[in-house]
Amino acid sequence: MSILVQVEHFGGKASESVHELLAMAKSLGGPVDALVCAGTAEAVATIAAQLDADTVVGVADARLAEYLPSAYLAALNAAIAARTPDVVLISYSTAGIDLAAGAAVYSGRELVGYVSEIARTGNSLSVVSQIFGGKLMAKSNLPLPGIAVIMPGAFNAEGPGSGAAIEMLDVDLPAAEIMSHVEVLEPESSGIDLTKAERIVCVGRAIGGANKLDVAEALAGKLGAEIAGSRPVIDAGWLPKARQIGKSGNKVKPKLYLTAGVSGAPEHLEGMQESDLIIALNLDEQAPIFSKAHYGAVCDMFDVLPLLTEKLS
């Protein structure tokens, strides 16, 4: 089974999800190609040196120096046509959402998304996908050749590889772009680095407002933990952006991750599912967070958090 992995990178570094995709590809058996698009051949080589693949398929063009959907899609379509892989693995990300559907239409391949598990079964792939915001898991067969969009964190990777041989591919990119790259805006730093915290207490929308955070902050204080929030909490302005956990926030791996009122949408689970110990408190017994929690309780956080703080006192 031949596999093509779409490589995302920023600032000369392959994303963590890329190493997960490559490890997943290796587990399926067969040769693994990694598609690297960049502005120059030198930039392709820099990324290739980090990858554990059999071959890096490189596409170098000034229009690929920054991510532009139509240019990257043209490169991906050309690589699929040239390499004819049995399966294309793409990370579930902003870019992945752009590229996967376009590649499926162009190549006529079937596509399955939100994949958390994948395995070979004869002439197809058996896949497990998250549906209804992660509340249910659906098992299906993906006929080959196909395209699978993989949830970050679905497969463990040890880290960067030792490099791979590079084969450059000439691609006729679109002459004009509907979009153009303007600038890169780095997030503001407030001195908070949740990625280094050993204990985190994370609150969800159910906390109800910034004026009710004190009940969680009191527990965090007793635990020596940092306070954090899911995206709805951040969007509401109850906590600063630097304290967001999830796909569009921080990806953390603390020794203790205690959630209160966090439902556990896929985007949030991506940011914390590798924590050593996960404890979940939620009124909804069907909340997806319980699928990742080591311990959980169906309860009202305002009943339990003060009692935990009192015990720790």
3-168 and 194-312 have identical folds: yes
Domain residue spans in the chain?
3-168, 194-312
pLDDT given for residue 183 in this prediction: 85
Task: Give per-residue pLDDT as tens, 253-288.
Answer: 999 999 999 999 888 988 898 899 999 999 999 999
Q: Which CATH class is domain 3-168?
A: alpha beta
pLDDT given for residue 251 in this prediction: 86
Distance, C-alpha 28 to centroid of its chain:
20
Q: Write the CA distances from 136 to 90, 129, 132, 152, 273, integer angstroms.
A: 22, 8, 6, 18, 17
Q: Which residue is associated with the tokens 């902003």?
A: 94
pLDDT given for residue 188 in this prediction: 65
Q: Is 284 exposed, middle or buried (0-12, 13-18, 19+ CB in 10 A)?
A: middle
Specify the CATH superfamily of domain 194-312.
TPP-binding domain (3.40.50.1220)
pLDDT given for residue 50 in this prediction: 94
Q: Is 64 exposed, middle or buried (0-12, 13-18, 19+ CB in 10 A)?
A: buried
**What are the residue ranges in the chain where pLDDT is below 50?**
none
Integer Cα distance of 142 and 200 in angstroms: 38
pLDDT given for residue 169 in this prediction: 96
